[in-house]
Structure 1
Amino acid sequence: MAPVQQEGKLVAPLLPRAADDGAATCSGRRVDGEGASFQGAVLNLSTTIIGAGIMSIPATVKVLGVVPAMLVILVVAFLSDVSIEFLLRFTDAGTSTSYSGVMSESFGRLGRLILQMCVAITTMGTTTVYLIIIGDVLSGCMSEGSVNVGLLQEWFGTRWWNTREWALLFTCLLILLPLVSFRRVDSLKFSSGLSVLLAVVFVFASAAMALMALFTGRTEKPSLFPKITDRSSVFKLFTTMPVLVSAFTCHFNVHHIKIELRKPSQMNAVARSSLLLCTIIYGATGFFGYLLFGEETMGDILSNFNADSDSSPLSVLLKDVVRLSYAVHLMLVFPLLNFSLRINVDELLFVKVKKPLALDTRRFGIITVSLLASIYLIAISIPTIWIVFQFIGSTTAVSIAFIFPGAIVLRDVNTISRRRDMMLATTMIVVAAISSIIAITSNVMDFTKKVDAI
């Protein structure tokens, strides 16, 4: 199949012409106009955004206070929208059709390589965290000195098949492997729709529990503003920034979704719709989660649901709904991050191979199975890597979301940057860099204190 003209650019086909549908596909998008729908794209991008970060939002509200936290969530969402708009505008102005291509146009092969490594590290680390959390929910874990029983043990007792290793193996083989085997992002739109629905179920269940606790007097009035007592408490405020940046990082999937869209020009509207939906979900999760557990809110609120002493039938049911919906939600988010991980690993390892990954069944299968097996082995070997996750948020995720898009605008190889763009790009880079440095320093200090205490 010959290359296809798309909006003034030559795009190499990702998938061949299918005999049964009569429609050629170009990087996952049908050339005859029957590409991915607007709603499907919104669901896929929203699912990319809403991941493990949602569980840290209530702790972020506890640290910042309700009012500043809601404002910061809005600011990060706004900056994410700006950075995505930058990427899309510079993509349209150049000859590339991908994030790495835009980086290559601006900073050469080195810029492309750095971005690909950042995306690989971010997606590999994040998907590993997802699998660890799924294992915690299904088979239990140790959290802050207490033993949390998994749902499978709680329902069926301790069995060989519901231990962590076997539960995750069955999850990988029966659920994740079929989902990561799809070669188009749009093929995941139905699982993404279910994923977003489960996130909404999580919000409603948390809200119901919070309102029950409020009416029965088991919760305290939430703090509207942060409690600043010393210098360390000021530094702690900045540790929330990487959490929120990670929670809104979806930039590595924007171009993949755009290429498959029926109308690629709608991608900006898709991004804004997704960011608005996720901002509402994050705000509601943060407020009701903090309202429910108050100052006892942990860094991972899932641990609070496990440790909650309320044993009333309705409360137990809601807690099980929250835990199960969250675990299934992560299973459905996993393939979207794996999509970008697989592409970046392929580009890093097979630079000189010209045949598209989706057309090379053997290469596609080897990379897919190898990545899933590696993530599984890491997840069953390491009990928790939340510290690693925090550092990813402070470094690679911040770079992908803000620093690289800002640098592309400042480089301005296509001479399309306006003065407002330059100011926003500079602000994004400075704020991201300062917040990351302070957050890393604060995390190192906290880690050192914990080690000294041991």
Structure 2
Amino acid sequence: MTIGNGNGKAVKEKRSRKNKQVIVDEKSPLLPTKKGEEAGFEEFNGASFTGAVFNLSTTIVGAGIMALPATMKVLGLIPGIALIIFMAFLTNASIDLLIRFSRAGKSVSYGGAMDDAFGSVGRILLQVCVMVNNIGVLVVYMIIIGDVLSGTTSDGVHHAGVLQGWFGVHWWNGRFFVLLVTTLGVFAPLASLKRIDSLSYTSALSVALAVVFLVITAGITIFKLIAGSVMMPKLFPDIVDLTSAFNLFTVVPVLVTAYICHYNVHSIDNELEDSTQIKAVVRTSLILCSSVYVMTSIFGFLLFGDGTLDDVLANFDTNLGIPYSSLLNDAVRVSYAAHLMLVFPIVFFPLRLNLDGLLFPYKGPLVSDNLRFASITIGLIGVIFLGANFIPSIWDAFQFTGATAAVCIGFIFPSAITLGDRYGIATKRDKILCVFMIILAVFSNVVAVYSDALALFKKNGPTTE
């Protein structure tokens, strides 16, 4: 960790978890009273490097992976892979700046860093963005689960869900009823647990299920490649006019959302016995996750080509032309749907804390007030449930959250903190990078929103014969 000396310079020290906690309490008296900040790290007794990499990687890899093959359909394989890697480098740079200024300001959370740089307005703005981002992510989780179990319709073609394939079409395996049962039977009980430690076993199981999905998908693709039944994928985008050029920017919010993990970096850093390892943890996690993203994008796009859906899981409902195709299809879809069910409460925890911080900034701990805890939990789950039933696809949800909250959390806020340079530690290179990130984030997302709006108007506008 770092402690400021008399000259304002940072001195690195390695401490035991117990000593580290005492120092943090002494140097940051305001932070524990800020609602919505992860201040409960004293419960952890020194996480290992491997454990920290695992935790951060779990934060990064989520539902975003399902939309990445569709980005290859828009960009082409070569630009798509290049952009995935580029976004990993940009994410690493933004997290590095966030950590550096948090150290200088002795902040133990993202909210604390924003409060230090911009006051309570900055902290509240971050809390709102985390809420919008996490609600969007959880809505995506529910949409994918609905697509997998009850099916989805794209371009007039219905892709049957697992339950419909097993039992036929009935009212009880329709989308609304399946999501209702999943919400009441899985999400509500897990989200009602007051300690995130209680979810350690379900989290481990969720990671195992995600690995099952990746291994099966890769195996199917390799088998078909050897058999020569995979067509040459599109390597570059098809640009025929200005509209098609603007359409390329619609993938940016999806890629931004796929790498958002900034709101968990501080809590993982606080768990480390040696907090000087956090930068290596971030780099290792980004290398691991970008590798998974690249492989999933390649395998998914190779398998389905231009027929790749916004949610690639929905593609696994047809004969793949290999032995045991039906069994493998179901294994792929069920394993990842179950993975998302178990990850849901992990993302839900910071969402509930941030909402509590906004609504009740001067109340006591949320876990000590059963009525407040239950009310916020029920209200949030209800909003997410309604969103999953009315938002048509994960692409729409990703574009909304990615074009608003996610881009702020991932790039604009860390850049703004750096450009403010309250402690005079930003280099000229840092400031140039921050200006670049802000311009890229704003321009890309404005164009993405414009392209989406244009496509919506064309879809709903009058047709001419």
Q: 2:429 aligns with which of 420, 430, 442?
A: 420
Which residue pairs with 1:5 in the alignment? 23
1:197 to 194, 197, 208: 208
Cα deviation, 1:409-441, whole Å, max 9, x if unaligned, reads 001112221222112211111111111111111
Q: 2:180 aligns with which of 169, 174, 186?
A: 169
Aligned to 1:18: none
260-269 vs 416-425, which moves further: 260-269
Counterpart-to-counterpart distance in 2, 1:91 and 1:112: 13
Q: Deviation at 1:344?
A: 1.0
CA contact (8 A) 1:235 1:439 kept: yes
Is the counterpart of residue 401 in structure 1 residue 410 in structure 2?
A: yes
Q: Distance in 2 between matches of 1:172 and 1:106?
A: 39
How many pairs does the alignment contain?
A: 438
1:364 & 1:13 partners in 2: Cα distance? 21
Q: Aligned residue for 2:303? A: 292
Matching residue's letter, 1:372? I
Q: What is the Cα deviation at residue 227 of structure 1? A: 2.8
Corresponding residue number in structure 1 for 2:95: 84
Distance 1:283 1:350, change over 3 A: same
Which deviates the most, 435-444 or 172-181? Answer: 172-181
Q: For 1:184 and 1:414, how far apart are their aligned partners in 2?
A: 36
CA contact (8 A) 1:36 1:186 kept: no
**How far apart in 1 are the matches of 2:67 and 2:462?**
25
Paired residue for 2:77?
Answer: 66
Change (3 A) 1:287 1:157: same
Aligned equivalent of 1:316, options 303, 314, 326 = 326
Q: Contact 2:148–2:314 (CA<8 Å) still a contact in 1?
A: no
Residue aligned with 1:239, SS: helix
Q: Which amino acid is the alignment partner of residue 41 of structure 2?
A: R
1:431 and 1:351, CA in 2 relative to 1: closer, same or farther beyond 3 A? same
**Where do 5+ consecutive residues of structure 1 fail to align?**
15-25
Q: Secondary structure at the match of 1:395?
A: helix
Map 1:422-441; keep pairs closer than 5 Å. 422-441=431-450
Is the CA contact 2:152–2:314 (under 8 Å) kept in the aligned structure 1? no
- Residue 258 of structure 1 deviates from its aligned partner by 2.6
Q: Mean alpha-carbon deviation: is it higher for 89-98 or for 284-293?
A: 89-98
Out of 35, 40, 52, the residue aligned to residue 28 of structure 1 is 40
Indicate conservation of the 8 Å contact 1:35/1:261, yes or no.
yes
**Is the 8 Å Cα contact of residues 28 and 185 (structure 1) preserved in structure 2?**
no
Q: Given the two structures, how large is their TM-score scaled by the length of structure 2?
A: 0.86
In structure 2, the partner of 1:333 is 343
Residues in 2 aligned to 1:102 and 1:349: alpha-carbon distance in whole angstroms: 21
Residue 224 of structure 1: CA displacement? 2.6
Q: Please state if 1:274 is matched with 2:285.
A: yes
1:121 is the counterpart of 2:132: yes
Partner in structure 2 of residue 349 of structure 1:
359
TM-align CA RMSD: 2.6
SS in 1 for 2:237: coil
Rounded to whole Å, the distance in 2 between the matches of 1:368 and 1:320 is 32
1:143/1:303 contact within 8 Å kept:
no
More divergent stretch after superposition (173-182 vs 183-192) = 183-192
Q: In the alignment, does 2:231 pair up with 1:220?
A: yes
Q: Structure 2: which 5+ runs fail to align?
A: 1-20, 33-37
C-alpha contact (below 8 Å) 2:52/2:268 kept by paired residues: yes
Q: Deviations over 1:347-383 (max 9, x none)?
A: 1100122x23244444333322332233224334555
SS of residue in 1 equivalent to 2:434: helix
**CA spacing shift, 1:159–1:233, aligned 2, 3 Å:** closer
**Secondary structure of residue in 1 paired with 2:218:** helix
Contact preservation (8 Å) 1:46, 1:196: no
Deviates more, 1:264-273 or 1:246-255: 264-273
| 1:389 corresponds to | 398
What amino acid does structure 2 have at the position aligned with 1:81?
N
> Which amino acid in the other structure matches residue 328 of structure 1?
A
TM-score w.r.t. the length of structure 1 is 0.88
Who is 1:17 aligned against?
none
- Asked whether the 8 Å contact 1:135–1:167 carries over to 2, the reply is yes
| Offset, 1:290 | 0.9
